[in-house]
Amino acid sequence: MKKILYVLATCVASMHALEFGTMGNVSASMGGAGVALKNSAFGLYYNPALLSASPKVKFGYSVGVSIQEKNIAQLATIDIANMQRTAQNLASSFGGSGGTGGSGAVDGVAKAVDNALDSVLNSSGSSGSQSTQQKLESYLKTSNGNHNDLIDKIKENVKNSNDLTGIQKDLITGVASGIDFNNLKFDNGTGTNTVNLANAISSITISKGSDKGLDKSMSDIAMVQNALQDNHMNLTSQNGIVLQLGSRPLNDMIGTFAVGLFGSLYSNISLNANPDKLRLIIEAGGQYYELTITDDGYTYGLSNENTYKQHSLIASLQDAQNGHSIYMTSFVLSEIPVGYARTFYLKNGNLNIGIAGKLMNSTSMQNKVPITTKTDFGAEMSKIVQDFKNTTIDKAIGVDVGAVYEIDLPKFRYLTLGLVGKNLNSPTFNSTLQNITIKPQARAGIAYYTQSGFNLAFDVDLTQNDIIAFSTKDQKSQMIGGGAGFIWKGFDLRLGAMKDLRQDNGLILTGGVNVLGIIDIALQSSTKFTKIQNYPIPQYLSLRVGGSLSW
């Protein structure tokens, strides 16, 4: 069974804390709120002070699975072939060949621009000694910002060129109207970036919207560069069973107790990129060219071999040591929590203080696979599956402390305020690559009850909690959410919403139903979707099944 869980989860890396998490169906369906929610059987998980706030005998069970994805699925939608073709076409179109004369002897678009400048300047005979850059500077002094005449001449020269392929002609004609001529630069063959390239284009900026094909390719490139730095895919399964022992007389005498068994699986796959090796620098015809994406358009310019080797995304795919890697982590955590809480009666309310100690056992495995053109991913995955026996087992102690204040005024009752700190001692576990530390988590909540069975609850994370991930950009989670519950005899209905303030997965809608106490279903789904093979999939999705009884 453990191997099956790992196969489902084989996935990254160094984990420095967990999210606050979700346990039990009531809170899961009410926007994740549970710190001040007295009618849940899982007070032992959310806030041990809830034990004495609702001193009853309670039994609850809950099993669930959730998946969360950020930018991983998008990589599968990228048209890699189109990206490569466009980059090569840009390089071959805008790059000059090995001309060495001073008469502007270049090919591709550089020659088309040179001839077009001759035409609009009416100086084809007298400007032979001028470089293309000098001609452009002369033109800009008299154009008054209107370049339509030059654009038309460029298109005409491109159409009649014998140096360009049909694909290159279509590309250049499409982007001609989007060229920023004020930032167009030609190299005279004397710079450090070129070798015997007379009048080659050394910098050109093209506005977005000039060519749909180019826009699509540049959008894909930007998506890849962003996804390589900010990504993760998590599969989580949190399951538990709790038994609370309490009554009002017992609570007044010594307090309320609870014991539970929680078993959770946390798994992740992340791409960790070297941020110094993400620039799109390509080699074409012995020369090097760089494409840079800005908010307004795309800039193409000459580069050099040294920059290519040190910073190119393409060159980094040959480097297994300092390039990019896939990190995978599987972390199984079992907990046996024992909780105690006591009520202190005050003049206008009741203060409940609770504490829970947890015996925690972990089984973990971490793997790293370099991303190179030579990596056999099938063989690497087979090796990981075969390596399940080399897991790391460790144990630790965790401590949770919480407080719940119940307002008790003559004309205003049933309002509850909660505050909890979980894993205050930062339990740490040894693992394959790096130790795993669960950092302290703090959350506050508020709930309101009515005698008719209607209740409201709202929670907010006071700390930013780390997600199990090893992407270049740290992945954080900070939840805020709440919901409403309607309790009828033999049937409950709950609705809510929550939002992760540190993840761009949209508003998460929640809901759940309970029949006769023992059958409960809760669902959470984000409103932001990712398309996989044209099917929309929520970026966050969770399903829980459980039940609870109290008396």
**Within 13 Å of residue 176, how many CA atoms lie on the same side as its CB?**
25
pLDDT the model gives residue 530: 84
Q: Are residues 238 and 297 in the same domain?
A: no
Q: Measured at the alpha carbon of residue 340, what is the angle toward residues 337 and 346, in degrees to the nearest 5? A: 150
55 located within any domain: yes
Q: Are 388 and 6 in contact (CB under 8 A)?
A: yes
Q: Are residues 267 and 282 in the same domain?
A: no
Q: Are residues 175 and 239 in the same domain?
A: no
Name the domain count of the chain.
Answer: 2
pTM of the complete model: 0.78
Q: Are residues 298 and 199 in the same domain?
A: yes
pLDDT the model gives residue 8: 35
Q: Are residues 178 and 191 in the same domain?
A: yes
Q: Are residues 84 and 194 in the same domain?
A: yes
How many Cβ atoms are within 10 Å of 248's Cβ, its own excluded? 12
In residues, how long is the chain? 551
Q: Are residues 60 and 103 in the same domain?
A: no
317 located within any domain: no
Q: Are residues 205 and 82 in the same domain?
A: yes
pLDDT the model gives residue 117: 85
Q: Are residues 384 and 438 in the same domain?
A: yes
20 located within any domain: no
**In angstroms, what CA-CA distances link 121 with 61, 136, 143?**
83, 10, 10
7 located within any domain: no
Q: Are residues 445 and 301 in the same domain?
A: no
534 torsion bin: left (phi>0), alpha (psi -120 to 50), beta (else): left
Q: Are residues 199 and 104 in the same domain?
A: yes
525 located within any domain: yes
Q: Are residues 388 and 417 in the same domain?
A: yes
14 located within any domain: no
343 located within any domain: yes
Taking the chain (551 residues) in runs of 10, the rounded mean pLDDT of each run is 37 58 94 94 96 95 93 69 65 51 44 83 61 85 84 86 74 79 71 44 75 74 78 90 94 95 91 85 77 79 87 81 83 96 93 98 87 74 68 94 92 90 94 85 95 91 87 82 90 95 93 91 94 84 93 86
How many Cβ atoms are within 10 Å of 245's Cβ, its own excluded? 14
153 is in which domain, residue-wise? 76-224+278-308
The domain that holds 367 is classified in CATH as 2.40.160.60
315 located within any domain: no
Helix axes 80-94, 212-229, angle to 10 degrees: 120
